[in-house]
Homo-oligomer: A and B are copies of this chain.
């Protein structure tokens, strides 16, 4: 962990960083949304005015990387601040990546509870299906989501009740099935209004634009990008509703909102999947297209408007960030790979001061299931796939990973290979002892 970033991720929040005591936190996660799928990330035919506005009023990350190659792995990692293999999500994951997050795993909601936060999870849980495995078993006071494997109907005229899980109970609600995201957003908004006397943590986990997705009827045809683009536009509108409500009830300046995706686009879906923009690869690939996703942070009064943060940041940094802002202690005995972004959000550190190409900058590992196949450190990324020559990319210069420079920099290849091999040895030990 960088000493510079260690400042406020342990113990009480650093009062210099923010005058807000225990800010509310809203974490919005889209599903399989690609790096290139928002207009503020350059998509030519999807319009996302509310999310673009969120970036204009806040901070847009251009090198934000998730820690898992698939939905469940990424979300387990996000909520626990650990690489998937260390979350205990039923290793070794084999063909079925959907596992159960062990009840002993410490989630953001559990950490924030110590500082009197109330937490609500709305949408896709995907980390266990039995009643005790749902969000309410992992530190959340409230959960509204779907039954296992439930998908909304694909028929726009279908007015059958939508089946929800509330807490651990299955209920039916009467509204068109294509309004599912907006209903989840409304549930989150109700929770926010009810909870605003306390600090709160909201995890709003959309099922979209993952294929097969549902487009509310009034969004159809709003995008040149077809149903996929229409679906992203509908999510954009839900984000706008949420930000607007925070302003209306007067708590925008006490609330940090993060919007992100859980992994790269599912390119196998062709027109029904997204785009990674200029990045190479998509979901399940260790190239940037699989792991680097859109991420925007919004916190009026604390984050300077229109900031672009172009240094590497990862989803592993969110748990230490939230804990730091809340003044919550991290559990003892766990070595968290991430660092608090609080000094980044508050402008204490400027993007320019973090350009550290040296071997002391933190390493980030790219996994497929439980095996590390690539590592990023500073500007460098080494890909070590089976049956392929090692590929070294200078990811800052070459975000599309088009030109391997392994032959030019053998010492860097050697150094990064050592890091991966050490990590693999540690992971083998983890797998054998669990």
4 nearest A-B pairs in the assembled complex, by CB-CB distance = A42-B42, A44-B62, A224-B396, A226-B397
Is B271 a contact of A403 with CB atoms below 8 Å?
yes
Ordered by A's residue number, 26 sampled pairs between the chains whose C-beta atoms are within 8 Å are A36-B278, A40-B42, A42-B42, A42-B43, A42-B277, A43-B278, A44-B63, A44-B278, A44-B399, A45-B62, A45-B396, A45-B397, A56-B56, A224-B310, A224-B379, A224-B396, A226-B397, A271-B397, A271-B398, A271-B403, A275-B399, A275-B400, A276-B278, A277-B277, A277-B278, A278-B278
Given A56-B56, A224-B355, A308-B39, does the pair A45, B277 have CB atoms closer than 8 Å? no
Q: How far is the CA of A372 from the CA of B287 in the complex (A)?
A: 36
Instruction: Tell which of B271, B278, B310 touches A42, judged by Cβ atoms closer than 8 Å.
Output: B278
> A414 contacts the other chain (Cβ, under 8 Å)?
no
Q: Which chain B residue lies CB-closest to A292?
A: B44
Residues from chain B with Cβ under 8 Å of A403 in the complex: 270-271
Q: Bits for A15-44, please: 1 = Cβ < 8 Å to B, else 0.
A: 000000000000000000000100111111
A115 within 8 A of B: no
- Asked whether A132 is an interface residue with its Cβ less than 8 Å from the other chain, the reply is no
| Minimal Cβ-Cβ distance residue in B for A398 | B271
Residues in B with CB closer than 8 Å to A306 are: 49
From A224, A399, A402, A403, name the one whose CB has the most chain B CB atoms within 10 angstroms. A224
* In the assembled complex, A113 has its CB within 8 A of some CB on chain B: no
CA distance A156 to B271 in the complex (A): 48
A36-B278, A44-B310, A44-B399 given. 20 additional CB < 8 A pairs?
A: A36-B277, A42-B42, A42-B43, A44-B278, A45-B397, A45-B399, A56-B56, A224-B310, A224-B379, A224-B397, A226-B396, A226-B397, A270-B403, A271-B394, A271-B397, A271-B398, A275-B278, A276-B278, A277-B277, A278-B278
> A396 contacts which chain B residues (CB < 8 A)?
45, 224-226
How many copies, total? Answer: 2
Give Cα A396 to B226, complex, Å. Answer: 8
Residue A47, interface by CB 8 Å:
yes
- Docked Cα-Cα span, A394 to B271, in Å, equals 10
| Shortest Cβ distance from residue A223 to the other chain B in the assembled complex, whole angstroms | 9
From 237 to 296 in chain A, residues with beta carbon under 8 angstroms from any chain B beta carbon are 270-271, 275-278, 292
Chain B residue numbers with a CB within 8 Å of A224 are 310, 355, 379, 396-397
Complex Cα distance, B398 from A43, in Å, reads 11
In the complex, the chain B residue whose C-beta lies closest to that of A52 is B306
CA distance A294 to B49 in the complex (A): 19
> Nearest Cβ in chain B — how far from A338, in angstroms?
20
Chain B residue with minimal CB distance to A49?
A: B306
Chain B neighbourhood of A310, CB < 8 A: 44-45, 47, 224
**Is the Cβ of A42 less than 8 Å from the Cβ of B47?**
no
Q: How far is the CB of A53 from chain B (nearest CB, A)?
A: 9
Shortest A350–chain B CB gap in Å is: 12
- Complex Cα gap A242–B45 (Å): 29
Cβ < 8 Å to B, chain A residues 41-99: 41-45, 47, 49, 56, 62-63
